[in-house]
């Protein structure tokens, strides 16, 4: 397979489709970022529904499911699993954000059980969370994971093959991988690490685009690229992390135009054999 190029027009098309189709996106939110995700999805033109009653999961006419593992409890993990099974029955894309999975052994085991049940279409996480999921016996902070792992391209590829899904690994450098191929992006701003919910928001945007685009790699790259560009523009209008956050949400509605005006394209590369 030759390297493939994701062009600005293919990415902008995702964002335009989203606004035209206005898909219902079911989000199982956490206690911290529920409001942020609703506002982010509304800003980009999706129709969020934050449903947490299992009795109505199968009745929702949603086109994607977004699972945020933040503020996990034993009951919430069951709820996330139930939402996942409902989405599986509808054959919908499922995006899972294993928030802070490396924080405790309990959280990691809960995440692994959830992944096994839900079989997410896409995992969106940061490097610390990815490393925690690649070592099934320890936790991120207590394990010497070795240097080779820290190349985000290798980490993303390994994770995608391990869990059979597309991985959106975000950080200073973002990598999207389906286990065979990877795409690297370098957008965003340091203030993203000084506000809560930035990762959850990208996760929800991936869900929104996956609702309207069958190509999961393209949806994931488009979400991460668009969000990162919005952050770059927002930072120019901000005095600190809070005014940055306001400007970021303002820009979310203009992502399609931001990408239309950019000249950036992203090259898809093949992973080396393990």
Each residue 241-260 as x (binds a copy of itself by CB under 8 A) or -, in order, gives xxx-xxxxxxxxxx------
59 binds a copy of itself (CB under 8 A): yes
Are residues 46 and 211 in contact, defined by beta-carbon separation less than 8 angstroms? Answer: yes
Closer to a copy of itself by Cβ: residue 81 or 185: 81
Closer to a copy of itself by Cβ: residue 9 or 20: 20
Residues in binding contact with a copy of itself, number by CB under 8 A: 56
CA distances to 35, 124, 136, 271 from 81, in Å: 22, 17, 20, 31
The torsion region of residue 93 among left (phi > 0), alpha (psi -120 to 50) and beta comes to beta
Distance in angstroms (rounded) separating the CA atoms of residues 177 and 155: 9
43 binds a copy of itself (CB under 8 A): yes
DSSP string, 48-98: EE----HHHHTT---SEEEEE-SS--HHHHHHHHHHHHHHHHTT--EEEE-
| Burial label, 33 (beta-carbon count in 10 A; 0-12, 13-18, 19+) | buried
Closer to a copy of itself by Cβ: residue 45 or 179: 45
Phi, psi of 107 (to 5 degrees): -65, -40
Distance in angstroms (rounded) separating the CA atoms of residues 272 and 151: 13
Distance in angstroms (rounded) separating the CA atoms of residues 157 and 155: 6
100 binds a copy of itself (CB under 8 A): yes
Distance in angstroms (rounded) separating the CA atoms of residues 65 and 91: 10
Instruction: Provide the minimum distance between the beta carbon of 206 and a copy of itself in the complex, in angstroms, as a whole number.
Output: 19
Piece of the chain touching a copy of itself by CB under 8 A; list 56-64, 111-119, 153-161, 181-189 = 56-64
273 binds a copy of itself (CB under 8 A): no
Piece of the chain touching a copy of itself by CB under 8 A; list 7-15, 216-224, 231-239, 266-274 = 231-239
Figure out which of the listed residues 113, 141, 150, 186 binds a copy of itself, where binding follows CB under 8 A. 141
Piece of the chain touching a copy of itself by CB under 8 A; list 68-76, 122-130, 157-165, 206-214 = 68-76
Piece of the chain touching a copy of itself by CB under 8 A; list 124-132, 143-151, 158-166, 233-241 = 233-241
157 binds a copy of itself (CB under 8 A): no
Look at residues 74, 26, 76 and name the one whose alpha carbon lies nearest to residue 46.
26
194 binds a copy of itself (CB under 8 A): yes
Percentage helix, strand, coil for the chain under 3-state DSSP, each rounded to 5 = 50, 15, 30
Q: End-to-end CA distance of the chain, in Å? A: 18
Instruction: Provide the minimum distance between the beta carbon of 189 and a copy of itself in the complex, in angstroms, as a whole number.
Output: 14
Instruction: Provide the minimum distance between the beta carbon of 179 and a copy of itself in the complex, in angstroms, as a whole number.
Output: 30
72 binds a copy of itself (CB under 8 A): yes
What are the residues binding a copy of itself (CB under 8 A)? Answer: 29, 31-36, 38-39, 42-43, 48-53, 55-56, 59-61, 70-74, 100, 103-107, 141, 193-197, 237-243, 245-254
């Amino acid at each position: 397979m030759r390297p493939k190029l994701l062009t600005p027009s293919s990415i902008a098309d995702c964002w335009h489709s989203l606004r035209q189709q206005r898909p219902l996106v079911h989000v199982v939110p956490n206690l911290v970022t529920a409001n942020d995700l609703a506002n982010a999805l509304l800003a980009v033109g999706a129709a969020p529904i934050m449903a947490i009653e299992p009795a109505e999961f199968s009745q929702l006419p949603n086109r994607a499911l977004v699972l945020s593992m933040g503020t996990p409890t034993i009951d919430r993990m069951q709820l996330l699993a139930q939402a996942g099974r409902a989405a599986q029955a509808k054959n919908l894309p499922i995006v899972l954000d294993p928030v802070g999975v490396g924080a405790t052994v309990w959280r990691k085991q809960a995440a692994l059980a959830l992944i096994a049940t839900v079989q997410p279409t896409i995992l969106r996480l940061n490097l610390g969370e990815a490393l925690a999921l690649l070592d099934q016996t320890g936790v991120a902070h207590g394990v010497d994971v070795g240097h080779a792992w820290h190349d985000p391209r290798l980490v993303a590829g390994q994770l995608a093959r391990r869990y059979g899904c597309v991985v959106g690994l975000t950080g200073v450098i973002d990598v999207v991988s389906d286990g065979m191929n990877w795409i690297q992006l370098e957008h965003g701003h340091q203030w993203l690490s000084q506000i809560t919910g930035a990762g959850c928001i990208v996760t929800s945007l991936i869900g929104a685009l996956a609702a309207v685009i069958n190509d999961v790699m393209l949806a994931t790259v488009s979400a991460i690229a668009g969000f990162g560009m919005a952050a770059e523009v927002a930072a120019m209008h901000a005095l600190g992390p809070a005014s940055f956050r306001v400007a970021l949400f303002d820009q979310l509605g203009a992502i399609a135009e931001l990408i239309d005006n950019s000249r950036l394209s992203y090259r898809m590369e093949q992973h080396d054999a393990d």
